[in-house]
Amino acid sequence: MDDRKNLVVLVDEHDREIGTEDKLRAHQNGGMLHRAISIFVFNARGETMLQQRAMSKYHTPGRWTNTCCSHPYPNESVIDAAHRRLREEMGFDCEMNEAFAFTYLADVGNGLTESEFDHVIFGAYDKDPEPNPEEAMSYRWIGLEGLKKEIEQNPDAFTPWLRIVLDKVIDYRKNGRA
C-alpha cells in the first residue's frame, strides 16, 4: 500500500507547504489547513457530473458531490493529482485546467472538519464514467442552476463543500472569475 494515501499536505493561507499530516488527524479537532482538489467535469450541454459518495467513505457517505474531490500527495501537482484521482474514482481521464482556488472550513460530521485550500479544476467529457464502487455508488449529470435549486430544497443530500463552492463555480463559468 502507498503510504502517501494517508497523508495530506499542510499549507499556510497562501498555499505554501508547511508539512504533512495523517489524513484523519488533519480533519479532527477543528481541522488543519491542507491542500485539496475539487474537480468539476462538464459535458457539451454545460451540465456537470456529480458523484454520490460510497457508503464506506469515512465522512459524508451517500451524499452527492462534485465529480471528484481529493488531496494531492506530497510533491504532486494539483493537476497530476486531479488526473490520478479522476481515473481512480470515476474510471476516466480528460483534459483539465485549474479555474480558481479558495479556502474554506466546513463541519462534515462525526467530529471531523474540512479546512482546505481548495484548487477548483474544470474538465470536459461527454461519455459515461465507470465509477469505482469503493469511491462512488452513482453518478448523474445536472445543470448548475438545477443543482443550486436541488441544494436549496434538500441541502443535507449534498456535501458541505459542494454547497460552499457552487456559487463560485457558477460565477466563474459566467464571468471568468470566482
Catalytic residue IDs: 69, 116
110: which 3 cell numbers? 462525526
CB neighbour list of residue 32: distance below 8 Å, 6 or more residues apart: 8, 10, 21, 25, 26, 115
Contact predicate 80/74, CB 8 Å = no
Contact 96, 123 (CB under 8 A): yes
Neighbours of 1 (CB within 10 A): 5
Q: What are the grid coordinates assigned to 90, written together? A: 470515476
Q: What does R_g of the chain's alpha carbons equal in angstroms? A: 15
Tallying the residues shown for the chain, one arrives at 178
Q: Are strands 64-65 and 136-142 parallel, antiparallel or unpaired?
A: unpaired
Phi, psi of 67 (to 5 degrees): -50, -45
